[in-house]
Structure 1
């Protein structure tokens, strides 16, 4: 597919990504990144075997990457790549299997190259960015954007513009606005919870300069992957020895469990020396079954699968019901109950912090909660009822509007790209 207009918009998300391109009939449209799918998991699987091609080591992207991992192919699955932006990891090389290494920057670039190809290889792009890549560190935050821009330029984009993701979502909301309103956009994805208070309306839509309409932006680096981690620690990993006390009265060291619950650190748990160390720590466990389960995870490299079960449990309880987690692949007959209360207790501090950030955003604009006309929810984690209900309770006068959880940002970025680039 060729992109004759030469531009696109990319929502490079922590969990999922989407791309918008010009369309003669609709103005902008979302690209089908996979069969019948307008979004694609932000995932790359590096195969341990196979020849390099012009693009580098043999890889699979998106759902194919996740499937390769689940099917047990030798190699390494990379997810949550956005989370390394702004960190020293970006210039480091990591083992991707088969004795091969890849720089984290090349991993990000490879994924962006895939998106650019699916967009028709345009040379101009608007990329979304969170309000803060890194909380409380402006230097690292600026570095993160510069790193993402460098990765984009490395794969052929010569003109790279950025727009805040929640502001892009406001542009999407604005398409349905019939009057001028003040909307608080809550973009809660996999890595960040971002908020923007934006003035929208049908008379403002065609303005390219919208700075005066952005009343405040704020964010916090807490979102879906943090929820998954807390669910895994509280609901699953205690059956593997997390917070357990051994016969000697000492608590089992917790570092391995925190790493197992953090996507980009899971592979560090499989280092031979680390596995050998834990194999020798059986005496630390009062319940040797917990040690056996942990060793199965480490020796059979089941950490990402365990994290996926935690994510599934989070989704299952998002509507407010108890659930169970089947871990029979680790130990025959192992099924763990997960109550809504356990989940709420595990997530409470994060949920309270996100809700507080929403109110801080309004305060930054010098407004009160009752002056917000609408709450616009987008991002995958807004499927969590506990969060959405808690936030809505603090803005009782605001209409609650739910956008496309996975595509609103890309749609809004596309509108912004069209205004920037169309006719130029």
Structure 2
């Protein structure tokens, strides 16, 4: 698409793990620099108690890892559509609504985008998953309305939405030289989203594309779910998960699920959670493992462990085994993680992803052989077992990898230019 003047509006991809902002302006890259010359801003806030300030993105993670006393909040997007959205959390003795935390991050994203662009933005196209919440249209609508309300609060006047896989399709289409029937596979931190769409150099000039979109689908499964399964099955047994009490009952699992899920890690640090653990410790058949869990919680090292698990997941995309060092919990403690075990742990999730793709083909009335291209985007789309599953479903389609963290932001910028000039 040819642009002679800078667009009035930007496109924001507020992601579970990372966020980007796209803006079409001639002679410049579409994605704006958001932190230290990088196009992504990790969707993280850290409240530093010692220095009484808040940090965002990589700076937030760095201060947390440097050991400052404070509160780390990550995976904020996962709050949208959940029962937690109307709740609050304690930060330095104050109760902060989760809606406020979302506003804080979106506001920072807007400010950084405007600093990078050298101008203010009042119009925006926001990306959204095909489904914020599976099989619950009312909750899904509430999630979108919540995000729109927050966008208004931070200063946007004209707000619209585009499905994230459709935005990724528009980014891919900018480089095609012939007509293709493409399956867009967007595997983000919180959701897996898909679009079947006809793309071509001629079609991309059209403002109205509804006839080109054959089907969309999504499921609330993403990279953070892969992290959770790897943590629960590969790491948490070292801390007592699935061990027994003296009466042969299984150790209560809620603490482990909280620690393995990004947006609930802080729940493991409450007084009630600590009291419950102390009660169960007396009856633990393997108290040494509970001692490790106590150490993990006393150090408030849940986010550090989750980051280590996430790094292990990424490493297992390239190699068969990964050694996870846990010396900060206990000297010499480590965990050997294998790709095969990881793939076994996420197999039920991948089955649901595959079923969603199958329904997409059925909804469009297409056979697998009709798909020319599978376009992958999203930071979690590189998991080999996931790609193998898609390949098995669509054996004749060629695979193309886009900018895993930038395709959606670029596509939203294209849409913003079309909608707002």
Q: Normalised by the shorter chain, which TM-score bucket?
A: over 0.9
Q: Report the TM-score, using the length of structure 1 for normalisation.
A: 0.94
Q: Which shows bigger deviation, 354-363 or 372-381? A: 354-363
Q: Does 1:20 align with 2:60?
A: no
Matches of 1:88 and 1:390, distance apart in 2: 32
Q: Which shows bigger deviation, 291-300 or 139-148? A: 291-300
Check whether the contact 2:50–2:68 (CA below 8 A) recurs between aligned residues.
no
- 2:74 pairs with one of 79, 91, 116: 79
Partner SS, residue 237 of structure 2? helix
Question: Which position in structure 2 is the counterpart of 1:111?
Answer: 105
Q: Which shows bigger deviation, 361-370 or 145-154? A: 361-370
Question: Which position in structure 1 is the counterpart of 2:188?
Answer: 189
Check whether the contact 2:86–2:99 (CA below 8 A) recurs between aligned residues.
yes
Matches of 1:87 and 1:276, distance apart in 2: 26
Q: Does 1:93 align with 2:94?
A: no
Question: Which position in structure 1 is the counterpart of 2:141?
Answer: 142
Q: Report the TM-score, using the length of structure 2 for normalisation.
A: 0.95
Check whether the contact 2:171–2:408 (CA below 8 A) recurs between aligned residues.
yes
Matches of 1:88 and 1:228, distance apart in 2: 22
The size of the alignment, in residue pairs, is 412
Shift of 1:8: 0.8
Matches of 1:169 and 1:19, distance apart in 2: 13
Partner SS, residue 300 of structure 2? coil
Matches of 2:200 and 2:327, distance apart in 1: 53
Check whether the contact 2:219–2:356 (CA below 8 A) recurs between aligned residues.
yes
Q: Does 1:61 align with 2:61?
A: no
Deviations 1:297-320 (A, max 9, x none): 111111111111111111111225
Matches of 1:339 and 1:350, distance apart in 2: 18
Question: Which position in structure 2 is the counterpart of 1:41?
Answer: 42
Check whether the contact 2:24–2:414 (CA below 8 A) recurs between aligned residues.
no
Check whether the contact 2:173–2:199 (CA below 8 A) recurs between aligned residues.
yes
Matches of 1:349 and 1:277, distance apart in 2: 31
Shift of 1:49: 4.8
Q: RMSD of aligned C-alpha atoms? A: 1.5
Question: Which position in structure 1 is the counterpart of 2:96?
Answer: 102
Q: Which shows bigger deviation, 399-408 or 309-318? A: 309-318
1:122-161, aligned counterparts within 5 Å? 122-161=121-160
Check whether the contact 2:33–2:113 (CA below 8 A) recurs between aligned residues.
no
Partner SS, residue 167 of structure 1? helix
Question: Which position in structure 2 is the counterpart of 1:248?
Answer: 247
Q: Which shows bigger deviation, 332-341 or 233-242? A: 332-341
Deviations 1:172-217 (A, max 9, x none): 1101211111100000010000000011000011111111111000
Deviations 1:284-343 (A, max 9, x none): 322222011010011111111111111111111122511111111101000111122211
Deviations 1:55-83 (A, max 9, x none): xxx31111011112111222211111111
